[in-house]
Amino acid sequence: MANTRSAEKQERQAVKRNVRNRAVKSRLRSSLKKARTAAAGGDADLSAGFSEIDKAAKKGVIKKNTASRYKSRLAKSAKRASAK
């Protein structure tokens, strides 16, 4: 429990950020799942998945290198599926 006004405000802000970050992370996971299934099916359009990854990285929900890794793995799996 917060004792000072500034600590109470910080707690309110933390709750807001937590809700916002959770929503962004959920959208990211959903779009990644869709993009992975599309890539496995041979569909080469990954722009929606890439866009969500970039948005999450821009908002600070995931780090820049993590976003790069996600995009790389997604592209790699799409290339592997299209080669079959």
pLDDT band at 43; cut points 50, 70, 90: confident
Task: Using alpha carbons only, give the angle 62, 68, 72 rounded to the nearest 5 degrees.
Answer: 135
What is the rounded distance in angstroms from the CA atom of residue 35 to the CA atom of residue 18? 25
- Domain count across the chain: 1
Q: What is the CATH number of the domain that holds 61?
A: 1.20.58.110
Structural domain including 22 reads: 5-83
Residue 18: per-residue pLDDT:
97
What is the rounded distance in angstroms from the CA atom of residue 10 to the CA atom of residue 25? 22
Among the listed residues 58, 74, 57, the one whose alpha carbon sits nearest the alpha carbon of residue 66:
57
Query: Quick check: 81 and 42 in contact, CB under 8 A?
Result: yes
The predicted-structure confidence for 13-24, as pLDDT tens digits, reads as follows 999 999 999 999
